[in-house]
Chain A
Amino acid sequence: NAGVTQTPKFRVLKTGQSMTLLCAQDMNHEYMYWYRQDPGMGLRLIHYSVGEGTTAKGEVPDGYNVSRLKKQNFLLGLESAAPSQTSVYFCASSPGVASAIYGYTFGSGTRLTVV
C-alpha cells in the first residue's frame, strides 16, 4: 500500500538547470496537488489537478509547470531553476470534489537545493 510516492527524495541543481519531480499515487484519486514548504511559511500551493489532462494554478505558480497525462501521475517541472526555488516539495492527492472535507494524502517530500 504505497499511497503517494515522490521521486527523487533529494536533488541539488545549478542555477538555470531544469528538472522534473514525479508524483505517483495508487489510490485512484482524482485530485492531485503540488506544494512547497519553506520555513515560517507553511505549505503553499503551486499547481493542482482535478483530473487526468487538467491542471490549474495555485498561489505560487511562477517558474513551475505541471502535467497530468495519466491519472496516477502528476509531474512538476522547473524549466530554469533559481535559488528562490530551494525548498521542500510535497505532492498530495485526494479522492475528488469533496477533498476539502476529507483531507489529503501526502508524499514524503523532495528536498531541492538550487545553487
Chain B
Amino acid sequence: AQSVTQPDIHITVSEGASLELRCNYSYGATPYLFWYVQSPGQGLQLLLKYFSGDTLVQGIKGFEAEFKRSQSSFNLRKPSVHWSDAAEYFCAVGAGYSSASKIIFGSGTRLSIRP
C-alpha cells in the first residue's frame, strides 16, 4: 500500500527567502503525486500534481516540485516566499486506476513566515 511521509511538522522562513518542503512516498509502481495547500479555516487547494513526463512540475502561486524516483521524493519549492504563503501544506500520493484507488495524504507541514 502507498504511504506518504512529511518529515517536517513546522517550518519557519523569512519573507523573501527560498523554501523547500520535503515529501517522501512509498509505492511499488509509478505514483501519482500531489501537493495541496490549506489556508487557515479553509479547505485544501491543489497546488500541483505529477503523473508522468517532465519530473519538474510547475504549479500555482509560483510553486514547483521535483519528482525524484531514486529518492522516492517529491519536494515542494518556491524561490521567494510571501507572507500570504503561510499555511499548511500536504503531500499526497495516488495509486491505481480502479474504483478502489484513493489518494493518501501526509500529515502536513505547517509553514510560518517571519517578517
Contact = CB atoms under 8 A, between A and B. Distances in A.
Interface of A: 4, 33, 35, 40-43, 45, 48, 50, 58, 90, 92, 97-104, 106-109
B74 interface: no
A107 B43 contact: yes
A43 B9 CA distance: 14
Dominant SS at the B interface? loop
Contacts of A48: 102
Contacts, number: 62
Dominant SS at the A interface? mixed
B56 interface: no
Given A48-B102, A106-B45, A108-B43, A100 B97 contact: yes
Interface in B8-67: 9, 32, 34, 36, 41-46, 49, 51
B96 A42 contact: no
Given A33-B102, A100-B97, A100-B103, 9 more contacts: A42-B107, A97-B99, A101-B32, A103-B46, A103-B49, A103-B94, A104-B44, A106-B44, A109-B41
